[in-house]
Amino acid sequence: MDSGNASARKPLCAMIERARVDVVVHAFYDKLRAHPEMSGFFSHIEDFAQHEQHIAVFWWWAMGGRAERQRPFDMNGRHQPLGLNERAFEQWLAIFCETLHEQLPRELAEAWFDLAQGIGANLQRMMLEGKRPFILDRL
């Protein structure tokens, strides 16, 4: 029998669990909405509970969980109108990292942050360097 680390074979979604994703997303958006430089990016959102739910579904899906809907996540279409710059991406990642480490054990926080860094880098490259649209549709 394989004596390797069983958690290394589990998808991240199975280790973090769906309810914890919701808690992290809510805590993260509380910080963003209170942040003097980041809050403006969210002023157009009318139903924040719905927005947080949408983002939680995205993260759950990105971690390997089953999506609860059949519509692709249009990363470019949602973020392009915001006029994000390199500083905004850096702050987003820093606040997300802080939130993850406050809400999760270190190993899980680091695993989720690795995923966030990859997604953030792809989105940033696409938006700031004009690469092709980044649409996630693995549903």
Look up residue 73 and give its DSSP letter.
E
Give the C-alpha separation, 35 to 24, whole Å. Answer: 17
* Cα torsion 59, 63, 69, 74: sign: positive
The response to whether 35 counts as a known ligand-binding position is no
- Alpha-carbon distance values, 121 to 23, 116, 125 (Å): 24, 8, 6
SS3 category, 74: strand
Which residues sit in the known binding site? 54
Which residues sit in the known binding site for heme? 54
